[in-house]
A and B are shown apart, each in its own frame.
Chain A
């Protein structure tokens, strides 16, 4: 059974710092990996989706990498801002239909002004 772990569970950084969030998964036979953002009391918003054949994806100040063989992904946030404060979740899909997304518990990020 696929298990997804995110470390750390919580992270607090001063504004302007670059930071890395980690995600690991136990079964390397994945179709893709996604990073989501969740604000308090809100739904999830997709940030980046990496196909299994890709090594990384970038969107603005965000860069996600994928090392499928080692079962790891990182989300790099450059020049953090208070508005980046949220919980970040990663999820993996074993098949093309994506209905079997397995989520990690998330990393709660606080960016201090």
Chain B
């Protein structure tokens, strides 16, 4: 299994440009997440999904959009990039079933984004 993969690894954007960060997992996990990590800070949840077709906002959703058309893929869209979106973005996935044992989240290697 490749686990959680993210592309690209690094990207420079100009203010106002748009881009999509790709995330794919091959573990058949139902839950997927997007986090951002600013220097010296913990991770903050942007969006999450509990299954295909279902997404919801996390703590810092402004300026981002997501979709979940398949179990495997969970892309994050940045519209009108701003310098405040300069960060490292992590995608994660986990498996959960009601009344089951909660499992840990598995993280991708991250995408470093610089907005100038």
Binding site for B on A (CB under 8 A): 4, 31-32, 34, 41-46, 49, 51, 89, 91, 93, 96-106
Partner of B90, one of A43, A91, A102: A43
Q: Are B96 and A97 neighbours in the complex by a CB distance under 8 Å?
A: yes
Binding site for A on B (CB under 8 A): 4, 31, 33, 40-45, 48, 50, 56, 58, 90, 92, 94, 96, 98, 102-110
Residues of the A chain whose Cβ atoms lie less than 8 Å from the Cβ of B94: 98
Residues of the A chain whose Cβ atoms lie less than 8 Å from the Cβ of B98: 96
The count of A-to-B residue pairs whose CB atoms sit within 8 angstroms is: 65
CA of A49 to CA of B90 in the docked complex: distance in angstroms?
A: 20
CA of A101 to CA of B103 in the docked complex: distance in angstroms?
A: 13
Residues of the A chain whose Cβ atoms lie less than 8 Å from the Cβ of B44: 103
CA of A100 to CA of B57 in the docked complex: distance in angstroms?
A: 10
Question: Which residue on A lies nearest to B6, using beta carbons?
Answer: A43
Partner of A31, one of B31, B33, B92, B102: B102
List 4 additional contacts besides A51-B102, A89-B42; criterion CB under 8 Å.
A4-B42, A49-B104, A96-B102, A99-B58
Q: Are A99 and B48 neighbours in the complex by a CB distance under 8 Å?
A: yes
- A-B contact list, 10 entries, CB within 8 Å: A43-B108, A44-B90, A49-B103, A98-B94, A98-B102, A99-B56, A99-B58, A101-B43, A105-B42, A106-B42
Nearest CB of A to B47, in Å: 10
Q: Are B45 and A100 neighbours in the complex by a CB distance under 8 Å?
A: yes
Q: Are B109 and A104 neighbours in the complex by a CB distance under 8 Å?
A: no
CA of A97 to CA of B93 in the docked complex: distance in angstroms?
A: 12
Q: Are B104 and A93 neighbours in the complex by a CB distance under 8 Å?
A: no
Nearest CB of B to A112, in Å: 22
